[in-house]
Amino acid sequence: MRVEDFNEAEVNFSREILIDLINEGYEFDMDLIKELYYRKSQINNALYKMIGETRDYKVYKDVDDFFKMIE
């Protein structure tokens, strides 16, 4: 997988983010929704940064394959 191949359909951490927000004390209100959308909007930027930091110019078959490499 190349950097260009990442898209929102493949990289969706909504469940994990929601769990984190609830654990952080957010209640089910507009603040939770706003923070969820904000954090989701930062995912691609974070992935590009991680890729840049670990860039080895390999091609990965999918997102899971990439994350296995950095563990």
The SS3 assignment for 63 reads: helix
The separation between CA 66 and the C-alpha centre of its own chain, rounded to angstroms, equals 12
3-class secondary-structure state, position 51: helix
CB 15 within 8 A of CB 40: no
Helices 30-41 and 14-23: crossing angle, nearest 10°? 130
pLDDT recorded at residue 42: 87
Average pLDDT for consecutive 10-residue bins of the chain (71 residues)? 51 88 95 94 82 72 75 62
Q: Which amino acid, residue 2?
A: R
Which amino acid is residue 26, in one-letter code? Y
C-alpha dihedral sign at 10, 16, 25, 71: negative
The pTM score is: 0.57
